[in-house]
């Protein structure tokens, strides 16, 4: 029987439901959904597939254990009580890479990190019957969360955050992360049969993520993961099988109408280069164009964008005129929907319409809102044909 684990997938605050659906679609059982993370059950194959296929998770952690600790002694003993020898080989390199504490008595990250490392060494010394570890093998970095004195420990299987798909070598001033862009697209009813335009495309993240979704391209296809070296836990063939599955599902000949515009020509060139690196440049039309020139002859399209928020004081004065322009161009489009992520508080006032839905999302530490202006649904195909014949 295969060994199963609890796996923790952190995500952006406010987007847990999107990640939960992704995990369920992969076929895994969810055990808990908390602020900023989803926990599920899976084996070594699940670790590989989650890393390769999940678009909205920040990383995949193998849960090592959880316990209550109000004192450093309880933290030491709780950490020492975990069977580290079942997870980390004698030559493994192990350390607490990150510790965060919310509403807990223990709050010093550096003290938490050093005490837990000592406890792990003590446990493994007694098991391996050695006094010193070479730590020249595979890496096993730990991520530790303390919430209301409950310590949860996960070993990072991903390495670089999963938003690093490997395609974005050139970025604009304030890029949106790939995982956040994918999650926001998945929150909309957009699909590959519908037009998608990003009039503030920057480094191209929204159009590229949309093209990857349209082509059923796994986000982790073109990168490596830390746990590829964990031969004691993950069978090598699981990585090969996950990549084979990704290649089998890929449909990069799909037709899609995805467009990205930006007022800065150099940024447009960078976006085009990123799309080429992702292997989806043939699916996206990038063009230097101001938002004032936004138009499209067809109906039922989508604007999905991350317009400027005016985080710098000198930009703030330009925001009312910019957002009024967005509203005017949107109103001129026929039966379109518009989705904007922004921290600008007067968005609805300047656009001249109240959003149908508004979702609070944390983009890093910045509180933003995902304004959803919904257009009508297109008629069904059979209905469309009837209308054409009548015309």
CB 110 within 8 A of CB 100: no
Domain presence at residue 84? yes
Domain presence at residue 223? no
Q: What percent of the chain has pLDDT over 90?
A: 89
Domain presence at residue 206? yes
Which SS3 state, helix, strand or coil, does residue 202 take?
Answer: coil
pLDDT one-digit tens code per residue, 141-184? 999 999 999 999 999 999 999 999 999 876 666 678 999 999 99
Identify the CATH number of the domain in which residue 353 sits.
3.40.50.150
Residue 391: is it exposed, middle or buried by C-beta count within 10 angstroms (0-12/13-18/19+)?
Answer: exposed
pLDDT band at 349 (very low <50, low <70, confident <90, very high): very high
- Write down the pTM of the prediction: 0.94
| Distance spanning both ends of the chain, measured CA to CA | 64
Domain presence at residue 100? yes
Same domain, 185 and 137: no
Q: How many structural domains does the chain have? A: 2
Q: Mean pLDDT throughout 251-259?
A: 94
Domain presence at residue 273? yes
Q: Which residues span the domain enclosing 278?
A: 178-215+256-385
User: For the chain, how many residues are written?
Assistant: 391
| Cα–Cα distance for residue pair 200/293, rounded to 1 Å | 12
Supply the DSSP symbol for 227.
G
Identify the CATH number of the domain in which residue 103 sits.
3.30.2130.30
Same domain, 140 and 195: no
Domain presence at residue 298? yes
Domain presence at residue 377? yes
Same domain, 198 and 141: no
Same domain, 186 and 111: no
Q: Is the pLDDT of residue 386 over 70?
A: no
pLDDT one-digit tens code per residue, 177-189? 999 999 999 999 9
Domain presence at residue 9? yes
């Amino acid at each position: 029987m295969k060994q199963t684990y609890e796996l923790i997938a952190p995500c952006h605050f406010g987007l847990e439901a999107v990640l939960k659906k992704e995990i369920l679609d992969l076929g895994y059982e969810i055990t808990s959904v908390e602020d900023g993370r989803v926990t599920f059950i899976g084996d070594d194959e699940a670790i590989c597939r989650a890393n390769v296929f999940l678009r909205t998770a920040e990383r995949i952690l193998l849960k090592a254990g959880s316990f209550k600790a109000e004192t450093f002694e309880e933290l030491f003993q709780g950490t020492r009580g975990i069977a580290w020898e079942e997870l980390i080989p004698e030559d493994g390199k192990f350390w607490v890479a990150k510790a965060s504490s919310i509403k807990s008595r223990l709050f010093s990250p550096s003290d938490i990190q050093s005490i837990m490392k000592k406890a792990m060494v003590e446990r493994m010394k007694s098991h391996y019957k050695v006094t010193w570890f070479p730590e020249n093998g595979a890496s096993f970095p730990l991520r530790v969360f303390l919430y209301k004195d409950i310590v949860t420990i996960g070993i990072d299987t991903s390495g670089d955050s999963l938003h690093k798909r490997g395609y974005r070598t050139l970025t604009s001033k304030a890029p949106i992360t790939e995982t956040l862009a994918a999650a926001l697209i998945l929150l909309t009813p957009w699909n590959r049969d519908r037009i998608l335009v990003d009039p503030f495309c920057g480094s191209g993240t929204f159009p590229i993520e949309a093209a990857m979704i349209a082509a059923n391209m796994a986000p982790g296809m073109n990168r490596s993961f830390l746990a590829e070296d964990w031969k004691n836990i993950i069978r090598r063939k699981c990585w090969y099988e996950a990549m084979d599955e990704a290649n089998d599902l890929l449909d990069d000949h799909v037709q899609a109408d995805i467009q990205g515009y930006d007022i800065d020509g150099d940024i447009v060139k960078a976006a085009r280069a990123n799309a080429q690196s992702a292997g989806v440049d043939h699916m996206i039309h990038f063009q230097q164009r101001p938002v004032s020139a936004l138009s499209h002859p067809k109906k039922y399209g989508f604007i999905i964008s991350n317009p400027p928020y005016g985080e710098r004081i000198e930009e703030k004065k330009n925001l009312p005129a910019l957002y009024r322009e967005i509203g005017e161009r949107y109103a001129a489009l026929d039966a379109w929907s518009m989705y904007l992520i922004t921290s600008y508080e007067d968005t609805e006032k300047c656009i001249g319409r109240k959003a149908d839905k508004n979702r609070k999302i944390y983009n890093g530490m910045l509180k933003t809102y995902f304004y959803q202006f919904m257009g009508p649904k297109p008629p069904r195909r059979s209905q469309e044909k009837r209308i054409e014949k009548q015309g």
